[in-house]
A and B are shown apart, each in its own frame.
Chain A
Amino acid sequence: MNTKAQPMTSNDSLPPAPRAPSILSAYRSEMAIAIACIALLVGVGIFVPAALSAGNFANILQASAPLVIMSLGVLVVIITGGIDLSVGSIFSLTGMVTALAMANGFGDVSASLAGLGVGLVFGSINGALITLVGLAPFVVTLITYAVAASLAFIVTNGRSLGVDSPDYWLFNSGQIIPGLPNFVLFCLLFTVALEFVLRKVTAGRWFYSVGSSPMAAYLLGIPVKRTRFAAYVISGTMASFAGLLTVSYILNAEATAGASLMLQAIAAVVIGGASLSGGSGSAVGAVLGALMITIIQNGVNLIGINSFWQGSVTGLAILVAVLIDRFSHR
């Protein structure tokens, strides 16, 4: 069928041509968060000049890497209108399983794969219970959160495990690309890849469609269940990857390692502009959200405020971010 526009003659009933989308406007809210991050850094720098040193920047990047990666996974789930409470426990259990495997003579690679398997399995369980059985995401991931957390204690009876494989630190701190530590490389890679998928791959648009209106998406022939299932698998696996990165960095695994990460990851996604009711959010935003949380923690430490205040400051940051988001949309 000829659906080409008719030539624009004097026909005044033809509406004006819709404007071409501008790329800059697409990242408006992300730029606001980036500016807020810089402002925070400068603010801390006024009290503690060392905050603006290269060394401290490296610290912030290293400290934020696991949170960045975990937030990217949680973002996908939140875009589909779901929630994943199990990521922190998966993070901890991954570390324990990997360290235990190494202690039992497995090589670095096979032990890491076993660790990644934790996220894959728990993500699949989440996805299956939510899509096939039809349970609410909050309930399902609350269950897997509890189970994975307790398993993390059970595997070693609560003991923490050191990693004595001589080369394992290279996974986090080595430089596949000379000059660029791996943890930064991984963050960049995952961010770019996810942003690309979310914007340019049809399946990526499906995450938004499902989160926006599951019924409309279903009637359009979008595979709603598969899309939601995939979101939880991605989220679980990314949490495991973050867990591996941390083990490689501190060469030690502890059952409570990820306890505080789940709330931070959700906070990062929300600061990054995603709506908890689904249908919106971007990878760049989530990463900036994770960076902001880390910058706040770092600042609180440097200024020497009692670290118990960290949570309150982070809470305030979430409030400010959500308010900015609300008022930038008129």
Chain B
Amino acid sequence: MLDADLPLLSVRNLQKSFGATRVLRGVNFTVRAGQIHALLGGNGAGKSTMIRIMTGGIRKDDGEIMLGSQRGAEPKIAIVHQELALVQDLSVAENIAMVHATAGLTIVRAGQRAELAYNALALLDPHLARSALHRKAADLSMHEGQIVEIARALSIGADVLLLDEPTANLTAGETERLFAVLRRLVRETGIGIVFVSHRMKEIRQLCDVCTIIRDGLTVVDATPLDSLTDNDIMQQMGQPGAREVAHSRRRFDMAEAGLVLKGAEAVIPIHKGQILGLAGSPAGPSQVIALLNGTGRSSSWSLDAKGWPARPASPRDAVALGIGYVSGDRRHKGVLAQLPIVDNVLASRRVREKRYMVRASERRECLDLVHALKLKAGSIRDLPSTLSGGNQQKLLIARWLGMSLRLVVFEEPTRGVDIGTKRDIYDLIRRMAEEGTIVVWWSTENVELLELCDEILAFDTDGRVKGLLPHDRFNEDALADLTGMAA
């Protein structure tokens, strides 16, 4: 048991530049035992950079990192990275056991390994622990992968837990369970936790104190969250304050529906310019999405629309029909990691508009999109890996902006995006809809669906359709009930 309130880890005047970009200009940060500490800041503020420096992942330019030594030994640090870092070809059990191997040449005992992994996983998700131990990491969904990673970090019994947006890939129910476990850990063992998130509600639910970094400096240092209003926090982060959006939803005459989505259990007419939300854990929504983006040849859903096939035969076919798609798995299915930002942004346009040549005007085009989304980049010749998580997300959205699409599918488009940018993305989505594009939007954040959608198709955890809610019947509890997820 550690003494509460002792600094476990503290950082003084930390500095870091990437080339000409000064990311950290003298940040202070202290993690104390028995505290859940929110680390806040807009996209690109340097949160992940700081966390990576603290764990030795990248080198600092200047500054001090002090590990408080309690029990004589240096505190053990565990980290969950923002981007999933499981070894894709290994099983879940192997991935978890990996961090426990003390030497390269120990003989692997499969039983022991499975037990270790089972215990780690059961803490967070007993069902997953029973079903997923021997599956390959590559076969896990985003949120399953995230749970495995968190379980792995928890299992090494660290004194400091650094969680970089661990909930971005989780459903509300999973988040709730994670929070319960984290609270218990802090209470019972007195460890210190650093929690990064862009969701105000979660931050308030979980954290005790917060540190805010902005423009490379600490602007709020370990201040109790109770003493700060949401508006204070947003202001310190340099985000526009919460503005009420008067989104006048339109009534659509469904007799004129441009598109009908046909499933085994439901027939759903969709009108031009409508925003259809898909709510619930991935099993159900992924079927609809696979149909629309052309990857689900065996999807149980089909399309009925003038001039459209029952199902696009391939993503290429879907793009030709005017269907855009932003995957929620930006690392594996979104970003072209080795190509500069400009190629990443324009790839969709080149395909859709059958551009045979790379045009000189594309530089301007890309710069305009980058500005419109306030995407923070050094140069459009840089690789996407130089962007912060939220900015990579903007990059994927930029691909489909202003292309007069017939339909666009968004999988968690605001994942990892800061509060101000989230507003911008909502505006962009709404504008796309107003121009007549059908928007199909899957989100595990019911609140954002309720705010923006014209209709919500709710699925339960087994992927069955539970109902289609028109916006005048929206209500958080009803949706939470239908999807089996706490709001």
Contact = CB atoms under 8 A, between A and B. Distances in A.
A3 B369 contact: yes
B332 A216 contact: yes
A203 B293 CA distance: 22
B376 A15 contact: yes
Contacts of A201: 356-358
B377 interface: yes
B380 A220 contact: no
A59 interface: no
Interface stretch (B105-113, B220-228, B316-324, B461-469): B316-324
Interface residues of B, number: 58
A205 interface: yes
Interface stretch (A19-27, A104-112, A161-169, A237-245): A19-27
A18 B338 contact: no
Contacts of A280: 338
A218 interface: yes
Contacts of B350: 202, 205
Nearest to B435: A1
Given A201-B357, A209-B343, A212-B339, A220 B379 contact: no
Contact of B378 (A19, A216, A220, A221): A19
Interface in B332-373: 332-343, 347-348, 350-352, 355-358, 363, 367-372
Nearest to A211: B338
A18 B387 CA distance: 12
B282 to A, nearest CB: 16
A13 interface: yes
A17 B369 CA distance: 12
Interface in B356-408: 356-358, 363, 367-372, 374-382, 399, 401-402, 404
A134 B479 CA distance: 44
Contact of A278 (B320, B338, B435): B338
Contact of B379 (A19, A203, A209): A19
Interface residues of A, number: 41
Contacts of B146: none
A208 B339 contact: yes
Contacts of A219: 293, 295, 315, 325, 327, 333-334
Nearest to A12: B238
B134 interface: no
Interface in A289-316: none
Interface string B51-70: 00000000000000000000
Given A17-B371, A21-B379, A216 B336 contact: yes
A200 interface: yes
A3 B315 contact: no
A221 B404 CA distance: 17
A6 B371 contact: yes
Contacts of A158: none
B351 A221 contact: yes
A212 B357 contact: no
A5 B366 CA distance: 11
B402 A1 contact: yes
B432 interface: yes
Which of A2, A204, A220 neighbours the largest number of chain B CB atoms within 10 Å of its CB?
Answer: A220
A159 interface: no
A14 B351 CA distance: 30
Contacts of A221: 314-316, 318-320, 348, 351-352
A158 B487 CA distance: 77
A25 B48 CA distance: 28
A142 interface: no
A1 B316 CA distance: 23
A40 to B, nearest CB: 29
B100 interface: no
A178 to B, nearest CB: 33
A274 to B, nearest CB: 11
Contact of A3 (B334, B372, B376): B372
Given A3-B401, A5-B372, A216 B315 contact: no
B420 interface: yes
B315 A218 contact: yes
A280 B383 CA distance: 12
Contacts of A275: 338
Given A21-B381, A216-B334, A200 B401 contact: no
B375 A15 contact: yes
A114 to B, nearest CB: 32
Interface in A192-246: 199-205, 208-209, 211-213, 215-223
Interface in A168-207: 199-205
A216 B338 contact: no
A15 B370 CA distance: 9
Nearest to A198: B358
Contacts of A17: 367, 371
A19 B401 CA distance: 22
Given A18-B378, A202-B350, A216-B336, A222 B316 contact: yes
Contacts of A211: 338
Contacts of B238: 13
A216 B333 contact: yes
B470 interface: no
B295 A216 contact: no
Which of B293, B335, B347 neighbours the largest number of chain A CB atoms within 10 Å of its CB?
Answer: B347
A220 B398 CA distance: 13
A240 to B, nearest CB: 27
Contact of A4 (B295, B334, B340, B368): B368
A229 to B, nearest CB: 15
Given A213-B335, A220-B348, A279-B338, A18 B293 contact: no
Nearest to B338: A279
Contacts of A20: 363, 379
A13 B356 contact: no
A193 to B, nearest CB: 14
A144 B238 CA distance: 61
A14 B421 CA distance: 11
Contact of B337 (A15, A199, A204, A213): A213
Contacts of B126: none
Smallest CB-CB A-B distances: 7 pairs = A279-B338, A5-B371, A221-B319, A21-B381, A212-B338, A1-B402, A221-B351
Interface of B: 238-240, 293, 295, 314-316, 318-320, 325, 327, 332-343, 347-348, 350-352, 355-358, 363, 367-372, 374-382, 399, 401-402, 404, 420, 431-432, 435
Given A19-B378, A213-B337, 13 more contacts: A1-B431, A5-B368, A5-B371, A21-B363, A21-B379, A203-B356, A205-B339, A213-B335, A216-B335, A216-B336, A221-B314, A221-B315, A222-B316
21 contacts: A1-B431, A4-B368, A6-B372, A18-B378, A19-B378, A20-B363, A21-B340, A202-B350, A205-B339, A205-B343, A205-B358, A212-B337, A213-B337, A215-B332, A217-B336, A219-B315, A220-B315, A220-B348, A221-B314, A221-B319, A278-B338
